[in-house]
Amino acid sequence: MTPSLTAADLKATFDAFNRHDIDGVMTHFAEDCVFYTVAGDAEHGNRIGGREAIARAFAAVWTAMPDVQWADHSHFLSQDGTRGVSQWTFRATNPDGTRTEVQGADLFRFRDGQIIEKQAMRKQRPNIPAK
């Protein structure tokens, strides 16, 4: 039987994001995974390919925004286990002191119990001024 991911696995991944635990985050990412960022030069954002490059990109977010959290996350998987969705609220202090607080979602594709694609999307709104 082919292993499959569960909503609990996605929850554990986002709990690891919030601990800034790169090993925990990357547990279910395939070596050939592709990550499409929320912004970038292409219509799909930027494309980051490969487990190591994706891990570096995630760690860079934690460095730039040390208090970043993906709060109130919830997770859903397709009946056949090949796709998933995670919804969350992104909260972080930007390097200039302003705050970002927006809802977003990740669309996932899975193969053999691993994430092979993560497509991140989030709402756009003005940053909240620094206090």
pTM: 0.92
Query: What is the average pLDDT score of the chain?
Result: 94
Give the pLDDT band (50/70/90) at residue 3.
Answer: confident
8 A C-beta contact, residue 108 and residue 84: yes
122 SS3 class: strand
pLDDT digits (tens, 9 = 90+) for 4-36: 899 999 999 999 999 999 999 999 999 999 999
Q: Is CATH 3.10.450.50 correct for 7-122?
A: yes
